[in-house]
Amino acid sequence: MNALSRWSPFKNLARIDPSSSFEDLFRGLGGRLLPRDFDAASIPVDVTEKEKSYVVKAQLPGVDKKDIDISVQGNQVSISAEFKREEKHEGEQEICVESYYGKAYRAFTLPDELEGTKAEAHYANGVLTLTVPKKRNGDARRIAVT
């Protein structure tokens, strides 16, 4: 199976000086805190392969299940979600906001064709669990050589 990895263009910049972080480079410029995660719009996923299916676990904390959209086509899986911001109440002042809100999207390709019509999705405790069966190749069979 191909390995899925998250890419961040800022990861190498933070390694320039091991004693400082990327945020330290901009600390004196404006007084506002920089977000910790520059690719916040990406949905982190864990994919495991079983004999007859793939199991995808996507972290979607704080998302309502009606705001999650999943599609499976061929061997590609797409997940999109909308993170909504809580209402700001009168008399409150935001000191630091590191949470992401807006739309997030993630698509990836798996090695085998998938049975999208038989996929099952469950959402609990901020984790989406998607089970997608592999497409059976009904014509394949072993033939003994005589």
Domains along the chain with CATH numbers: 7-39 (no CATH), 42-85+96-136 (2.60.40.790)
DSSP 112: S
Q: What value does the mean pLDDT take over residues 137-145?
A: 59
* pTM for this prediction: 0.64
Q: Minimal CA–CA distance to 54: which of 104, 5, 113?
A: 113
Mean pLDDT of 86-113: 85
Closest by CA position to 79, among listed 37, 127, 115: 127
